[in-house]
Copies of this chain bind each other. A is one copy, B any other.
Amino acid sequence: MSIASDVIRGHTDAIILAQLIQGDSYGYKINRAIQEKTEGQYELKEATLYTAFRRLEQMGCITSYWGDENTGARRRYYSITQAGLEMYDRMLAEWEQSQALLQKLITP
């Protein structure tokens, strides 16, 4: 849907980790935060979001637990781990580097 999807592709993980650095959260809320951050310009597709959670958990970058809501739908909360923090730092550095690289390449 979004124009930006090709750039964002492969950065879903970093985007999620960036959100979790600010504290534990759950899928729906994270997506909301992303929409607000971008003034509605971007949102993650649900399938993308939950696939990313699986991937990140399997890599040991996040852990999850069920919230104890006594009302509303159940929520699965996620926490960023030490490995996740390190991964985030690497991804951020990579992004800075790649950005400069592509800028060079895309200029005639």
Contacts and interface: CB of A to CB of B under 8 A. Distances in A.
Interface of A: 3-11, 14-15, 18-19, 21-22, 34, 37-38, 41-42, 91-92, 94-95, 97-99, 101-102, 104-108
Given A99-B99, A101-B38, A107 B7 contact: no
> How many subunits of this chain does the assembly comprise?
2
Contacts of A38: 101, 104-105
A42 to B, nearest CB: 6
B102 A11 contact: yes
A56 B46 CA distance: 31
A9 B10 contact: yes
A102 B18 contact: no
